[in-house]
Amino acid sequence: MYSKEIFDQDCRQCKRLNDFLCEVKQKHPGYHARPVAPFGDTNPQLLIVGLAPGLHGANATGRPFTKDYAGLLLYEALYEFGYSNQIKSESLTDGLELKRCRITNAVKCLPPQNKPTASEINQCNPFLAAELKTLPEHAVILALGTVAHQAVLKACQLKPSSAAFAHNAQHLLPGGRVLVNSYHTSRYNVQTKRLTKAMFSDVFRSIRQLLDNPKKSAGINLIS
């Protein structure tokens, strides 16, 4: 489905991650435990960028945010705003489909303690850069968390300091696409109310306004 520039199922470039995946596969033989491919529309208006697969979520199922606590709020919002045909994502065979939207990760492999190193993020970044280049003009990129935000900037050959992360902040990227930030939908953020359903819905309302009226991006500061 994807070219090897965007996703390589056989990538083993990060030794630490590869060794960890081998350990996980031994403990959980039924788990996917390999790089996790992007999921969704092949020509999306909205690209959602997460951090990395979760141990018992995407790493187990092979699909981003599936059977993962972090996916509860995300897929609920995607359903409510018309991007998904189902409110939950539980398995590869649950019939879920995304419309006008695709989900990917800054790092395609499960990292220990859910914390990829800077070198691992950099090693995986060319895949994200290649994916961003395939997006249509005026597409919106939703970065879930600071790491995803910075990975998008790097993929666009921009300095980390060129745009600060802030919840529901909007940044105009070179070429006309817009980067929108949100706190990650992690269990910690949701349970501590750092990210509420209302806050996440506000982010999707911002995205809808941008997609419905691309001229609105003219009022957003261009990152350079």
* pLDDT tens digit sequence for 154-168: 999 999 999 999 999
Q: Tell me how many degrees the CA angle 219-151-197 measures, rounded to the nearest 5.
A: 65
Q: Is the dihedral of CA 169, 205, 126, 51 positive or negative?
A: positive
Q: Which domains, from first to last, does the chain contain?
A: 15-219 (3.40.470.10)
Distance, in Å, from the CA atom of 118 to the CA atom of 198, rounded to the nearest integer, reads 32
Residues linked to residue 19 through DSSP beta bridges, in sequence order? none
Q: For the whole model, what pTM was predicted? A: 0.97
Q: Tell me how many degrees the CA angle 58-49-191 measures, rounded to the nearest 5.
A: 70
Residues linked to residue 175 through DSSP beta bridges, in sequence order? none
- Alpha carbons within 13 angstroms on the beta-carbon side of residue 40 total 28
Q: Which of 54, 13, 19 is nearest to 36 (CA)?
A: 54
Phi, then psi, of 46 in degrees rounded to 5: -125, 125
Given a cut of 90, whether residue 123 has pLDDT beyond it is yes
The proportion of the chain whose per-residue pLDDT surpasses 70, expressed as a percent, equals 100
Query: Side chain identity at 148, as an amino acid letter?
Result: A
Distance, in Å, from the CA atom of 206 to the CA atom of 170, rounded to the nearest integer, reads 9
Calculate the average pLDDT of the chain.
96
Q: Which helix (H) or strand (E) holds 147?
A: helix 146-155
In the block, tokens 């939207």 appear at 101
Q: End-to-end distance of the chain based on CA atoms, in angstroms? A: 33
Q: Which of 101, 113, 78, 100 is nearest to 203 (CA)?
A: 78
DSSP structural state of residue 192: T
Task: Locate 158 and state its tokens.
Answer: 């921009």
Q: Residue 154 contacts by C-beta under 8 Å, 6 or more apart in sequence?
A: 121, 122, 125, 129, 160
pLDDT computed for residue 199 by the predictor? 98
pLDDT computed for residue 33 by the predictor? 97
Task: Locate 17 and state its tokens.
Answer: 């991650």
pLDDT computed for residue 217 by the predictor? 78
pLDDT computed for residue 99 by the predictor? 97
Question: pLDDT category, 124, cuts 50, 70, 90?
Answer: very high
pLDDT computed for residue 219 by the predictor? 76
* pLDDT tens digit sequence for 70-115: 999 999 999 999 999 999 999 999 999 999 999 999 999 999 999 9
